[in-house]
Structure 1
Amino acid sequence: MKIGIIGGTGPQGLGIAKRLAIAGEDVIVGSRKEEKALTVVEEANEEIKEYNPKELVGMANEDAAAAADVLILTVPLQAQSATLKTIKEHTKGKVLLDATVP
């Protein structure tokens, strides 16, 4: 099972992603910009490598949503609507968890 963290480059999303990877889960960190996801994931993998986790993978939010089986939304409340519109076509039949607390 692959878990996609949508908007996962912020503190909340990255914290969830690291813990899931350390627990042995396959995790994709999504961002509006793929370059940002790749940079953040590279740094995060370096931080958690001592725990022998699975490596995090970085992608654009849309690609992360398409590739994952379960999605966790971690964008700020103000960005939810716009973000959900960009991933909508990739969410059918998938579980979507919202980690946002307004």
Structure 2
Amino acid sequence: MYVVCPFLLDQFYWAERMFWLGVAPEPLKRSHLLPEESDEKIIQGAANLLSRVIHDALSPKIREHAVEISKRISLEDGVSNAVKYIKEEIGCSS
């Protein structure tokens, strides 16, 4: 299971997408893992949050969603579909 903490570019989209699909807990913000201040209370809060998110990532609900999606993906034949699409686009009938 995954704990996601996006830092740049499309990582934010994919982190949210994993959350929407139910295969990962809500994404962490960079500031959650790298607090600006080294105050003991802030560090303890970040550690508690990370602990909770790891616990959530290991939950049966997230595992069930991941298994369900992996089964659906394994039924797809991506290579054959890609070849078929390319042949259609270039007008190849064989």
Same fold (TM over 0.5): no
**Greater strand proportion:** 1
Higher gyration radius (CA)? 2
Relative contact order, higher structure (CA 8 A, sep 6+): 1
Q: Give TM-score scaled by structure 1 length.
A: 0.27
**Greater helix proportion:** 2
